Chain A
Amino acid sequence: MPKIEVFRDALIRGIGAKKLTDAQLEELFPCAKAELDEPADADGIMKVELNDTNRPDLWSTAGLARQLRLYRGGDHPRYTFFSDSTVTRESGDRRIMVDPAVKAIRPWVVGFVMTGPPISEAVLKDLIQTQEKLTWNYGRKRRSIAMGLYRADLIQWPVHYRGVDPDATRFVPLQMDRELSMRQILTEHPKGQEYGHIVADLPLFPLLTDDRGDVLSFPPVINSAGLGAVQEGDTTLFVELTGSDLDSLLHAASIVACDVSDAGYTVEPVRVEYPEQTPYGKAITVPYYFQKPQSVAVTLVNRLLGVDLPASQMVDALKRMGITATEVTPAGGEKAILIRVPEYRNDFLHAVDVLEDVMIGRGMDSFEPEMPRDFTVGRLTELEQYRRRLRDLMVGLGFQEMIFNYLGSGRDYLDRMYPPEAREDAYSRAVQIANPMSENYEFVRPSVIASLMNAESVSAHAAYPHHVFAIGKVAERYEKDPSGTRTLTNLGFLSADRDEDFNIINSRISAILFHLGCEYTLRETRDPRFIAGRAAEITLAGGKAVAGVFGEVHPGTLERWGVQVPCTAGELNLEELLRQT
Chain B
Amino acid sequence: MASETTLKSLHPLEVKTLLHYRSGDVFDAPQMQTDLDLVLGQCNQALSWLEAKGFVAEAERRTEISYERTALGAEYADTGTPVERILKALAAQGPLTLPALAQATALESRDVGSAYGQLSKVQILSMDESKQVSLEQPDAAPDAILRALLERAAAEPLREETLSEAERAVAQANGKKRGASSAIFRIIEHEVVRYQLSTSGAAIREELQKAGVTGDEIGRLTPEMLRDGSWKGKTFREYGVNAPTSRILPGRRNPYCEYLDSVKDKLTSLGFEEFDGPLVETEFWNSDALFMPQFHSARDIHDVYYVKEPQHIREIPEPYLSNVAAAHENGGQSGSRGWGYQFDRDFTRRLLLRSQGTVMSAKSLKDAAVPGKYFGILRCFRYDQVDATHLSDFYQTEGIVLGNEVNLRTLLGLLKMFAEELAGATEVRYVPGYFPFTEPSVEVHIKHPRLGWFELGGSGIFRPEVTKPMGIDVPVLAWGLGIDRMALMHLGLNDLRELFSSDIEQVRLRRKAG
Residues in chain A within 8 A of chain B (CB atoms) = 30-31, 33, 51-55, 136-138, 140-141, 144, 245, 247, 292, 303-307, 349-353, 355-356, 359-360, 364, 367-381, 383-384, 388, 391, 394-407, 431-437, 440-441, 444, 451, 454-456, 458-459, 461-463, 465-468, 470, 473, 475, 477, 482-487
**Complex partner residue of A397 from B251, B371, B504, CB under 8 angstroms:** B251
Residues in chain B within 8 A of chain A (CB atoms) = 247, 249-254, 256-257, 261, 264, 267-280, 282, 295-298, 301-302, 305-311, 313-315, 331, 334-341, 351, 353, 369, 371-373, 379, 381, 383-386, 391-393, 401, 403, 405-410, 412-417, 430-434, 436, 439-442, 461, 463-465, 475, 477, 499-500, 502-505, 507-508
> Please, which residue of chain B has its CB at the minimum distance from the CB of A354?
B439
**Complex partner residue of B279 from A137, A391, A440, A475, CB under 8 angstroms:** A475
Q: How far is the CB of A490 from chain B (nearest CB, A)?
A: 13
Identify 13 residue pairs between A and B in the complex whose beta-carbon atoms are under 8 Å apart, listed by A's number: A30-B432, A140-B297, A349-B339, A350-B336, A350-B439, A350-B465, A396-B251, A404-B502, A433-B353, A440-B386, A462-B508, A482-B313, A485-B280
Contact call B413/A435, Cβ cutoff below 8 A: no
In the bound complex, residues from chain A placing their C-beta under 8 Å from that of B247 are 463
Contact call A400/B279, Cβ cutoff below 8 A: no
New A-B contacts (19) at CB < 8 Å, excluding given A378-B273, A435-B302:
A53-B297, A144-B295, A304-B408, A349-B338, A352-B464, A356-B439, A364-B431, A369-B413, A372-B373, A372-B410, A381-B276, A395-B252, A432-B309, A433-B306, A433-B308, A441-B386, A451-B502, A455-B504, A483-B278
Contact call B442/A436, Cβ cutoff below 8 A: no
**Complex partner residue of A352 from B261, B308, B439, CB under 8 angstroms:** B439
Nearest first, the 4 A-B pairs at minimum CB distance are: A306-B407, A306-B409, A374-B371, A378-B268
Q: How far is the CB of B270 from chain A (nearest CB, A)?
A: 6
Bound CA–CA A578/B249 (angstroms): 31
Q: How far is the CB of B452 from chain A (nearest CB, A)?
A: 15
In the bound complex, residues from chain A placing their C-beta under 8 Å from that of B274 are 379-381, 384
Contact call B272/A378, Cβ cutoff below 8 A: yes
Contact call B254/A403, Cβ cutoff below 8 A: yes
Bound CA–CA A406/B463 (angstroms): 32
Bound CA–CA A135/B359 (angstroms): 29
> Please, which residue of chain A has its CB at the minimum distance from the CB of B412?
A369
A444-B253 contact, Cβ under 8 Å, with A369-B416, A374-B403, A404-B500? no
Bound CA–CA A386/B410 (angstroms): 33
Bound CA–CA A375/B372 (angstroms): 8
A355-B282 contact, Cβ under 8 Å, with A52-B434, A377-B273, A455-B504? no
In the bound complex, residues from chain B placing their C-beta under 8 Å from that of A53 are 296-298, 434, 436
A384-B385 contact, Cβ under 8 Å, with A349-B465, A372-B406, A435-B305? no
> Please, which residue of chain A has its CB at the minimum distance from the CB of B291?
A349
In the bound complex, residues from chain B placing their C-beta under 8 Å from that of A292 are 337
Contact call B391/A436, Cβ cutoff below 8 A: no
Bound CA–CA A52/B392 (angstroms): 25
**Which of B275, B297, B414, B502: most chain A Cβ within 10 A?**
B502
Contact call A444/B461, Cβ cutoff below 8 A: no
Bound CA–CA A356/B403 (angstroms): 20
Contact call A407/B410, Cβ cutoff below 8 A: no
Contact call A375/B432, Cβ cutoff below 8 A: no
Q: How far is the CB of B237 from chain A (nearest CB, A)?
A: 29
In the bound complex, residues from chain A placing their C-beta under 8 Å from that of B500 are 403-405
In the bound complex, residues from chain B placing their C-beta under 8 Å from that of A483 are 278, 280, 282, 310, 313-314, 351
Q: How far is the CB of A140 from chain B (nearest CB, A)?
A: 6
Bound CA–CA A359/B410 (angstroms): 14
A359-B432 contact, Cβ under 8 Å, with A376-B371, A395-B252, A461-B505? yes
Q: How far is the CB of B253 from chain A (nearest CB, A)?
A: 5
A432-B409 contact, Cβ under 8 Å, with A51-B433, A352-B461? no
In the bound complex, residues from chain A placing their C-beta under 8 Å from that of B433 are 33, 51
In the bound complex, residues from chain B placing their C-beta under 8 Å from that of A349 are 331, 336-339, 465
> Please, which residue of chain B has its CB at the minimum distance from the CB of A487?
B278
Contact call A304/B276, Cβ cutoff below 8 A: no
A463-B249 contact, Cβ under 8 Å, with A359-B432, A369-B412? yes
Bound CA–CA A58/B298 (angstroms): 18
In the bound complex, residues from chain A placing their C-beta under 8 Å from that of B441 are 356
Contact call A372/B272, Cβ cutoff below 8 A: no
Contact call B264/A372, Cβ cutoff below 8 A: no
> Please, which residue of chain B has its CB at the minimum distance from the CB of A137?
B297
> Please, which residue of chain B has its CB at the minimum distance from the CB of A349?
B336
> Please, which residue of chain B has its CB at the minimum distance from the CB of A436?
B305
Contact call B475/A304, Cβ cutoff below 8 A: yes
In the bound complex, residues from chain B placing their C-beta under 8 Å from that of A433 are 305-308, 353
Contact call B278/A356, Cβ cutoff below 8 A: no
Bound CA–CA A336/B309 (angstroms): 51
Contact call B504/A400, Cβ cutoff below 8 A: yes
Contact call B253/A401, Cβ cutoff below 8 A: yes
Contact call B279/A406, Cβ cutoff below 8 A: yes
Contact call B267/A370, Cβ cutoff below 8 A: no
In the bound complex, residues from chain A placing their C-beta under 8 Å from that of B296 are 53
Q: How far is the CB of A416 from chain B (nearest CB, A)?
A: 14
Contact call A350/B337, Cβ cutoff below 8 A: yes
> Please, which residue of chain A has its CB at the minimum distance from the CB of B416?
A369
In the bound complex, residues from chain A placing their C-beta under 8 Å from that of B373 are 372, 374, 376, 378
Bound CA–CA A19/B278 (angstroms): 54
In the bound complex, residues from chain B placing their C-beta under 8 Å from that of A356 are 432, 439-441
Contact call A370/B410, Cβ cutoff below 8 A: yes
Bound CA–CA A35/B331 (angstroms): 32
Contact call B413/A371, Cβ cutoff below 8 A: yes
A435-B301 contact, Cβ under 8 Å, with A31-B432, A400-B504, A459-B503? yes
A303-B463 contact, Cβ under 8 Å, with A376-B373, A398-B250, A468-B504? no
In the bound complex, residues from chain A placing their C-beta under 8 Å from that of B268 are 378-380
Contact call B507/A400, Cβ cutoff below 8 A: yes
Contact call A33/B353, Cβ cutoff below 8 A: no
Contact call B434/A403, Cβ cutoff below 8 A: no
Contact call A378/B508, Cβ cutoff below 8 A: no
Q: How far is the CB of A17 from chain B (nearest CB, A)?
A: 21
Contact call A458/B503, Cβ cutoff below 8 A: yes
Q: How far is the CB of B89 from chain A (nearest CB, A)?
A: 60
